[in-house]
Structure formats: C-alpha cells, structure tokens
Homo-oligomer: A and B are copies of this chain.
C-alpha cells in the first residue's frame, strides 16, 4: 500500500501542525517503518497494543494515551495550556491532548477529576486554571464540566466529549451534544475522545498568538 500514501510534507508550514500517524487500520510493519525512516519529530496516536510494543525502542510510548513520540520539539517558555477532566475515566483522552501539546513544545498543566458532581473540586483549582490562556475540558456522561467552567474564566474553552458513560451516554454522543448546546458562551467542541484534535486547536491559537506578538 506504500506507493498509495501521499505524505503531506508541507502540512506544518501550511497549518502549523505536522502530519501525524493515526494508528487504526495500519499494520505494525507500516507503523514501524514510519518511525524508522527519516529523522526528526514523529507522533502516532490511537495505537494498538501490538503497535505500542513494536515502537517501544523507536519512540517514547505512553500506555495511557496510546501514543508514541520520536524526537519531541524543545519546550517553549510560555504559560501552560490547562487540561481538565470531569472524572478519572477521561484521563486517557486528556493525556492524548497533553502528549500532543508537549511533544510539540507547548507546556501543559493538568487538573484531573474536577467534575461537577463535586463542584468544590473545580473551585479549589480555579486560581491556577485562570492562569492558562487556553483550556481543554474533557468530560463524558452529561458533559457539564465545560459549561460550568466557561462561566468562570476568560480563556477559550475547547470541550472534548469522551465516550465514558453508561446507558444513554455510552459512546459520548450525549456529552458532545450537551457541550454544543451549552448555555455558557465561549465553548468550542471537537469530536468524541478527540484529545488530538483539541490539542491542534490549542496549538493553532498559540501559534498565531506568537506570530501576532
């Protein structure tokens, strides 16, 4: 299949985000080859167990987020992106966003398990949250965290619905629709479990922030 793939070498120049390896549907051999060839930054997401095992000598593999990173970019000196989760079940998705951001040199500060069923947990971290110029809020079930958060801060909130849930909320559609329907202005939503996509929005914001400065 190799001849059929058109690697988009100029993507980062054009869009501020380099091409990234999406694990599903790729053979282990294919993924290994992509991390063996050439040099410099390489990032893979949504890796299978077998893909992670095969990459462990070629890259830094993170089992929670199912990612692999080769030659990450140097960390920049800038205020961190804040990443929040409603529960512990949302941590893999949040960690995918964290790995994408950090591998490309953007510092991150995590605030996990601060969901609305115990709203005091969010209040207790709010001063630190407010320091972050961009926020990523991951939640499953009823997906209420971004709505409460957006009413408390002046940073943009990128909402990531997660597939964590049961019954009607299993799979994440309820959380996603609730985030889109939020009564709190200033929320933008990405696809279910799309930590990668949320990180990309954050990177584009930060990239232009630097470019405009």
Contacts and interface: CB of A to CB of B under 8 A. Distances in A.
Interface in A140-171: 140-144, 147-148, 150-158, 161, 163-169
Contacts of A151: 11, 14-15, 116-119
A79 B212 contact: yes
Given A14-B151, A151-B14, A191 B178 contact: no
A107 interface: no
Which 3 pairs across A and B sit closest by C-beta, in order of nearness? Answer: A167-B192, A188-B188, A169-B181
Interface of A: 1, 4-6, 8, 11, 14-17, 20, 24-26, 46, 64, 78-79, 86-89, 91, 110, 112-119, 121, 133-134, 140-144, 147-148, 150-158, 161, 163-169, 172-194, 196-198, 200-201, 203-205, 207-209, 211-213
